[in-house]
Amino acid sequence: MTPEGGADLTPLTVILAYLGLLLVLGYWCKRRFSGTSSDYFVASRSIGSFLLLMSVFGTTMTAFALVGSTGKAYQLGIGVYGLMASSSGLVHSLVFFLVGMKLWAIGKREGFVTQIQYFRARLGSNLFGYLLFVVLVSLVIPYLLIGVVGAGAVVRGVTVGMFPDLFAGSPHPVTGQMLSVGAVPPWLTGLVICGVVLFYVFLGGLRGAAWANAFQTIVFMATGVIAFWLVSGKLGGLAAASRAVAENAPDHLTRENMIGQLQFLTYLLVPLSVGMFPHLFQHWLTARSARTFRLSIIAHPIFIMIVWVPCILLGIWAVGAGMQAPGGNANAVLGMLVGRLLHDPLLTGLLTAGILAAIMSSLDSQFVCLGSMFTHDIVLHLVRKDRFSDRQKVLLGRGFIVLVITITYLLSLLTPPNIFDLAVWCFSGFASLFPLVFAAVYWRRLTRAGAYASVLVMVATWIPLFYDGLILPTREHRLKDDYLVFGMMPVAIIFAASAAALVIVSLLTRPPEQRVVDRFFESART
Amino acid sequence: MSGSDRRSANWVLWCGVPLLAGLHQDFWNWDDGRLLFGFLPVGLAYHAGYSLLAASFWAFVVAWCWPSRLEEWAGAVESEVPPRTEGTGGREDAKGGGA
């Protein structure tokens, strides 16, 4: 499928067909939508084990699981798997078991839809809800932007030369040479991606997102495995590909000189971020019962392994084969392997669809979640709730989802440099709020002042480290891969400060009323 | 499962997680660049096996440390408190809340 004088359109056709399938799925979800606000925001708390596993896994895995893991392994070798993947297998399931199920039970008892509703009620403070709203939204927005910007970059990469008469490309900032001539520009990809996600979440709410996530998770898992198998064949087989690494880049087979031991240890804190992701909280609430969590808790580490091990091997094989990342961009290594070794437009299209699947399976939940937060934590909280019928609440939620998607899209057009580096900092922020949710669930003595102290100290330690680790190096053009403090991930400092503030201030202030606290604990004190 | 069995099982959870966190550090593989089965680096094979171990551990926890009362507690509220309007802020909303 090649237009005269242009590049093969097959990859774009595959991508468009995939997006078309999502639209069909969205329409199917609309037919299952009951029309109630409970169905729209938490799928009537009716999601079963398999769908919960797929939707939670799809939501926690972003494009980084395919593209970033390959790129990081290309830079740092096999240690990336232990650093980011096997640690998540332990910690994510731990959080689902200890925190997720408890919050599901509390949410069901109290009729909560958002995380902020829980904290407001648990701490008896409206104002704390507003503070948390600002902090959570500030941390989620960069995470959303990464998805939209990432999709734009991926599609631009595979469509270079397809439409030279339509898209002139963009000039290189230094040389002025036109780059990506004829490629679909990121603004158009962002518009289409946002439009498709809007379609299925607008019609089906969180149920639509859950079904779309399940479908997309299957797509991106299958894509990674297929790419791995075909690329290994082109490199002469598994053994030959790995032998080349042993000969040409032996450092990539170990962690020595690649990752520090303290860095490796403190990275264990980063996956705790899932405990405070507002979109994951909302997915937990969709579970039909506590038993529904069982499959997610057990299968999550295995699913991570299925996606990450092939990508890590692909990353080190690229080094062993002497390949150079295009323009020094490690995130382009997976695309480069597929493009240079397979020369198959159909596979290129499928791989791109897989990457978009990983991106959209996170975007959709985040959009629904932010729409829910604006609806419940701001509007319905400020205005008497009986002023709105159930149908009006759904309309309000849909309106806010449209608003959130529009704002995200517009912000993606003005994306600052180093948006991908910002992601790790957002994760560190969420992880450093974990002491708050853990204490809220397990520690009766947590006070409102302790919660305020925890959040404010988190923000106060995060900002200077963020400035020193990202803003300043960007200005001075000396950005390194990993910013460490005394050899540790910055999250270790922020987490410790936030936890210490929570405990100390809670112990120094008057205990909360037992009557209020009893509502949130299984064994009420008498 | 009796109460004492449940407590013993919970000890497995509280000892198992730190043990697994310790096993995750595998400093003994830090500079081992050998290939298992001719293609799989030792450090990666260890952590892939670790993922399977983590899944097995969670299967054990789910089987033996399951908080069976949680389900009842989650559902118990229907008979304990008056129903609320769907999807709003729970009881705090009903009374207006306040910082």
**3 state DSSP class of A173:** coil
Contact state of A101 with B70 under an 8 Å Cβ cutoff: yes
Of 1.20.1730.10, 3.40.50.300, 1.10.3720.10, 3.30.70.270, the CATH number of A17-125+196-415 is 1.20.1730.10
Are A231 and A449 spatial neighbours (Cβ–Cβ below 8 Å)? no
A351 pLDDT tier (thresholds 50, 70, 90): confident
Count of Cβ atoms closer than 10 Å to residue A386 Cβ? 8
Cβ distance of A242 and B41 shorter than 8 Å: yes
Q: What is the pLDDT of residues A464-522, one digit of tens each?
A: 999 888 888 777 766 666 788 999 999 999 999 999 999 999 999 999 999 889 999 98
Q: Give the residues across from B36 on adjacent strands.
A: B40
- What residues are paired with B35 via a beta bridge? B41
**Strand locations in A57-214 (E):** 170-171, 178-179
Burial (CB < 10 A; 0-12, 13-18, 19+), residue A361, is buried
Residues of chain B with pLDDT under 70: 1-9, 76-99
Q: Residue B83: its pLDDT value, please?
A: 38
Q: What phi-psi label fits residue A111: left (phi over 0), alpha (psi between -120 and 50 degrees) or beta?
A: left
Instruction: Report, as an integer, the average pLDDT of A363-376.
Output: 91
Measured between alpha carbons, how far apart are the two ends of chain A, in Å? Answer: 75
- B82–chain A nearest CA distance, Å: 10
User: Distance between CA atoms of A81 and A69, rounded to whole angstroms?
Assistant: 8
- What pLDDT score was predicted for residue A524? 63
Shortest distance between the Cα of A380 and any Cα of chain B, in A, equals 7
Q: In which region does residue A49 sit, left (phi positive, over 0), alpha (psi from -120 to 50) or beta (all else)?
A: alpha
Which ranges of A159-292 would DSSP assign to H, the alpha helix? 186-234, 238-248, 261-266, 278-285
Distance (Å, whole) CA A157 – CA A337:
13
Question: What are the φ/ψ torsions at residue A351 (nearest 5 degrees)?
Answer: -65, -40
| Dist. CA A195–CA A203, nearest whole Å | 12
Helices (H), A251-344: 261-266, 278-285, 293-320, 333-342
| A63-112 tens-digit pLDDT | 778 888 898 999 999 999 999 999 999 999 999 999 999 999 999 999 99
Contact state of A294 with B21 under an 8 Å Cβ cutoff = no
Phi (first) and psi of residue A485, to 5 degrees: -120, 115
- Full DSSP string of B27-87: GGGTT---EETTTEEHHHHHHHHHHHHHHHHHHHHHHHS--HHHHHHHHHHHHHS----TT
Give the model's pLDDT for residue B93. 37
Write down the mean pLDDT value for chain A: 89
**Cβ(A308)–Cβ(A131) under 8 Å?**
no
8 Å CB contact between B69 and B10: no
Structure token digits, residue A459: 């923000």
**Average pLDDT, integer, range A338-348:** 84
CA angle A338, A339, A340 (to 5 degrees): 100
Q: Where are the domains of chain A?
A: 17-125+196-415, 423-526
Tokens representing B76 are: 């118990």
**Position A434, amino acid:** F
pTM of the model: 0.90
Flag if B97 and A120 touch (Cβ within 8 Å).
yes
Residues 6+ apart with CB under 8 A from A459: A135
Task: Give the minimum alpha-carbon distance from B76 to chain A in angstroms, rounded to a whole number.
Answer: 7
For residue A2, what pLDDT band results from cuts at 50, 70 and 90? low
Examine the predicted complex and report whether its ipTM is higher than 0.85.
yes
Quick: pLDDT tens for A221-276: 998 888 899 999 999 999 999 999 999 999 999 999 899 999 999 999 999 999 99
Mention every residue, 6+ apart, whose C-beta is less than 8 A from residue A445: A506, A507, A511, A512
Give me the residue from B34, B51, B74 closest to A108, CB to CB: B74
Provide the 3-class DSSP secondary structure of residue B23: helix
* Residue in A78, A268, A300 closest to B44 by CB: A78
Spell out the alpha helix ranges (H) of A331-389: 333-342, 345-373, 380-382
Write the CB contacts of B25 (distance below 8 Å, at least 6 apart in sequence).
A261, A264, A265
- pLDDT in the model for residue A6: 60
DSSP state of A272: G
Cβ separation of A255 and B58 shorter than 8 Å?
no
CB-nearest partner of B89 from A42, A79, A117: A117
Residues of chain A above pLDDT 70, percent = 95
